[in-house]
Amino acid sequence: MTTTESSGRPFVSGVVLAAGASTRMGRPKQLLEIAGRLLLQHVVDAALASSLDEVIVVLGHRADEVEAALRLGSRARAVVNPEFAAGQITSLRCGLAAANPAARAAAVLLGDQPTLRSEAIDDMIAAFLAAGARAARPVYPDAGGRPGHPVLLAREIFHELDPLHGDQGARTLFSEPRPGVLEVPVAGQPPPDIDTPEDFTRIIQLQADANDLP
């Protein structure tokens, strides 16, 4: 395994999926603002506050405009998926293909989950590496054991995504028990997707009521 110079642990990339056309929202949700930052920026900032060694933001719809509005920093970079209209799986493959060759694994993050916490990312990385897992996903006991993100994938199984199509994603790897696939209990609530104007209104109210955004 290739290790990072700073921590001595295997190199782990982060892939933020943010290429969609936001059809249910009716406008690009990547450019919506929450608490003075772009919705997508909240996810990028959580990733950068974690122990991920690099952060790859996969863009598609209005990519130039979104990239220009983001603050990426030295550990993050954007890549453009020219096939984003063919479904989320194309963005996942694009992001994984862009990962540093040294990466032992990748954490898959959704760009429309602004309440994602860096602590959840780090908990997942630690459990994944400690178990020597091939794949891992969080389950949230506070939400009745509901699964969510971020998901961790070992490089050795990146190729298992090749036959998938459309909006199939890494969740297909967890559809049935298989060796080396780990479920990790993570405290708190799973970060909700922001897909519709109603979702956006709810997250704005959440922020106003509880200041609950990282």
pLDDT digits (tens, 9 = 90+) for 10-26: 999 999 999 998 888 88
Do 118 and 109 contact (CB within 8 A), yes or no? no
pLDDT digits (tens, 9 = 90+) for 84-125: 998 889 999 999 999 999 999 999 999 999 999 999 999 999
The one-character DSSP state at 36 is T
Q: pLDDT class for 2, splitting at 50, 70, 90?
A: very low
Domains of the chain with bracketed CATH: 12-210 (3.90.550.10)
Is the pLDDT at 207 greater than 90? The verdict is: no
Q: pLDDT class for 198, splitting at 50, 70, 90?
A: very high
- Which pTM does this prediction carry? 0.90
Is the pLDDT at 175 greater than 90? The verdict is: no
Residue 20 CA to its chain's centroid (Å): 14
pLDDT at 210 (0 to 100): 59
Q: Which residues of 185-200 are buried (b: 16+ CB within 10 A; e: fewer)?
A: ebeeebbbbbeeeebb
Q: Which amino acid makes up residue 17? A: L
CA distance 100 to 152: 15
Q: pLDDT class for 180, splitting at 50, 70, 90?
A: confident
As a whole number, the mean pLDDT across the chain is: 89
